[in-house]
Amino acid sequence: MTTDTIPGALALACRAVRPAWPRDAVGGVMPSWVASPASVEEASAVLQAAADHDLAVVARGGGTKLAWGSPPHRCDVVIDTLRLDRVIEHAAGDLVARVQAGVTTAHLAGVLGAAGQQLALDLPGTGGIGGAGRNGSPTIGGVLATGTAGPRRLRYGTPRDLVIGITVVRADGTVAQSGGKVVKNVAGYDLGKLFAGSYGTLGLIVEATFRLHPLPAATAFVTDDLYGAAAAAQAVAAAAGSDLAPSAVEIDRPARGGPVRVGVLLEGDPGGVAERAAAMRGTLGAGSVASRTEPGWWGAAPGGTGPGGAGPGGTLIRIAFWAAALRGVLEAIDIAAGAAGLDPAVAGSAAAGVLHASVRADAPPGAVAAFLTGLREALARAEPGEGPPRRGSAVVLHAPDDVRELVDLWGPVPGLDLMRAVKDQFDPGHLMAPGRFAGGI
């Protein structure tokens, strides 16, 4: 084989290349080849070969979020990262782990858990926003690329907050790294932040180093069922504003007019957690309950797999806002959904200002679009003062094709011109997941 033909060039670059199957399609776009590099050298060679032949590339880990984002404008090669599956280093004494992109979150949790440590992103759960999907366990590369995190984002943040070093392969095959393996490090630009949540549009993430946390000695959940946005928002504010150090404050509202479940997670010393759980019950009210086991809805996508849930075929919207706006956001969801004749399930990290709303797959596309428009109008309502022009967003993470055709998945994006300039620098040929991201990037 020679590098003159595309299959020849790919085969020389990487030992595991095969023609694509229908199930390899990305957002309905059928690639021609799937390459599974087993090393950074192979990944670099694949991208170089793709660039030489003007082939568009989409990276895929566990495939659990492949339906997120817009379909690519082009997709010739899928790079499957699952063979980049090594935990390169777990320096337990330094609370740091360096892993390849294809390591699954479940595998990593096992390795770290054996040393009493964790990557604090709530990843191994099932059915959750950051958890496993029908295709298997998410990978570290995919989690970073989509920027997903679960309930404890309130305390630990999202992948961008925990990544301390990253190795990427650029569209032309160049391997580059930034950061390192020490938590405190301000040498050079932090490309880990730039690549976190970039949906594979700037390059291929092949390796990342994370800050770890000790597993808590004990956990407790305090939950309460409340009626109405005002009562729920008040409970969330009381929990978040207490000095009881909650690691997460979540809500779950399966249906409009029904109860809003509020749940607070406390972590730490067993005696301390018990004391704080009692105090948190006092904060939330007499009806609240403390338990050591997590509620069934904890960290799950809104509506879960139940009748209100969007499921993989429905529309999933991520709503971000300033925490004090929680009541207004819940009311705006109800008003916009009511006007559109929908009843979305809502759940998420209320105190951290991130909720997810899900609409069933069989909802009329026009109604979903109207709901989204109504919601965005409410979020855009100007706040007095000199802060950011918008204090929130509603981003469609995934949606049925007929909904995608009607809506702008991303909505207004601050700094979009600069983002386009960044894309043009990193990927001038627009070969990396073209069209997957905000503003057609």
Partner 1 sequence: MIETLVPRMVQICGPGGVVSDPLELRTYECDGLTSHRAAPALVVLPESAEQVAAIVKACAAARVPFVARGSGTGLSGGALPRTDGVLIVMSKMRRIIAVEPASQRAIVEPGVTNLAVSTAARPFGYFYAPDPSSQVVCSVGGNVAENSGGAHCLKHGFTVHHVTGLEIVTPAGELTWLGDGTGAAPGYDLLGAFTGSEGTLGIVTKIVVKLTRIPQAVTTLLAAFETTGAGGVAVSAIIGAGIVPAAIEMMDALSIEAAEAAVHCQYPAGAGAVLIVELDGPEADVRRDSAAVRKLCEEAGCTEIREAADPAQRAVIWAGRKSAFAAVGRIAVAYIVQDGVVPRTALGRVLDRIAELSAASGIRVANVFHAGDGNLHPLVLYDDSSARECEAAEKLSGAILDLCIEHGGSITGEHGVGVDKSRYMPKMFSADDLETMQMLRCAFDPAGLCNPGKVFPTPRLCGEVPGVRRGVHPLVAAGQAEQF
CB of 55 to partner 1, least distance (A): 21
Considering only residues 226-285, where is the footprint of partner 1 by CB under 8 A?
237, 240-245, 268-269, 271-272, 275-276
CB of 43 to partner 1, least distance (A): 9
**DSSP state at residue 242:** S
CB of 384 to partner 1, least distance (A): 9
Q: Which is nearer to partner 1, 212 or 368 (CB)?
A: 212
Select the span of 16-24, 102-110, 257-265, 322-330 touching partner 1 (CB under 8 A).
322-330
Token code pair at residue 243? 């000095």
CA distance 321 to 379: 8
CB of 20 to partner 1, least distance (A): 27
Residue 207: enclosing H or E segment and its boundaries? strand 204-211
Largest CA distance in the chain: 74
Q: Look-up: residue for tokens 């309502």?
A: 381
CB of 198 to partner 1, least distance (A): 6
Burial (CB count within 10 angstroms: exposed 0-12, middle 13-18, buried 19+), residue 413? middle
Residue 176 binds partner 1, judged by CB under 8 A = yes
Residue 183 binds partner 1, judged by CB under 8 A = yes
Q: What Rg, from alpha-carbon coordinates, does the chain have?
A: 22
Strands 77-80 and 33-35: parallel
Considering only residues 363-422, where is the footprint of partner 1 by CB under 8 A?
385-393, 395, 410-411, 413-419, 421-422
Q: Which amino acid is at 261?
A: R
CB of 414 to partner 1, least distance (A): 4
Q: Which is nearer to partner 1, 6 or 325 (CB)?
A: 325
Token code pair at residue 88? 């390169």
DSSP letter string, 351-375: GGTEEEEEE-TTS-HHHHHHHHHHH
Select the span of 49-57, 132-140, 183-191, 359-367 touching partner 1 (CB under 8 A).
183-191
CA distance 398 to 315: 6
Residue 215 binds partner 1, judged by CB under 8 A = yes
Q: Which is nearer to partner 1, 6 or 143 (CB)?
A: 143
Among residues 2, 23, 134, 187, the one that binds partner 1 under rule CB under 8 A: 187
Residue 317 binds partner 1, judged by CB under 8 A = no
Q: Which is nearer to partner 1, 57 or 354 (CB)?
A: 354
The DSSP bridge partners found for residue 319 are 355, 394
Considering only residues 46-65, where is the footprint of partner 1 by CB under 8 A?
none
What angle separates helix 229-241 from helix 326-340, to the nearest 10 degrees? 150
Select the span of 192-200, 251-259, 303-311, 361-369 touching partner 1 (CB under 8 A).
192-200
Residue 190 binds partner 1, judged by CB under 8 A = yes
Residue 318 binds partner 1, judged by CB under 8 A = yes
Q: Which is nearer to partner 1, 30 or 88 (CB)?
A: 88
Report the number of secondary-structure helices (H) and strands (E) in the chain.
13, 19
CB of 273 to partner 1, least distance (A): 8
CA distance 141 to 159: 10
CA distance 317 to 346: 9
Q: What are phi and psi of 386, to 5 degrees?
A: -110, 20
CA distance 325 to 331: 10
Residue 186 binds partner 1, judged by CB under 8 A = yes
Q: Which is nearer to partner 1, 170 or 281 (CB)?
A: 170
Q: Three-state SS for 377? A: helix
Select the span of 18-26, 137-145, 175-183, 299-307 touching partner 1 (CB under 8 A).
175-183
Q: Which amino acid is at 294?
A: E
Residue 113 binds partner 1, judged by CB under 8 A = no
Q: Are 222 and 266 in contact (CB under 8 A)?
A: yes
Considering only residues 76-105, where is the footprint of partner 1 by CB under 8 A?
88, 91-96
Q: Which is nearer to partner 1, 174 or 291 (CB)?
A: 174
Select the span of 286-294, 300-308, 333-341, 423-431 touching partner 1 (CB under 8 A).
423-431
CB of 30 to partner 1, least distance (A): 28
Q: Which is nearer to partner 1, 48 or 137 (CB)?
A: 48
Token code pair at residue 218? 């004990």
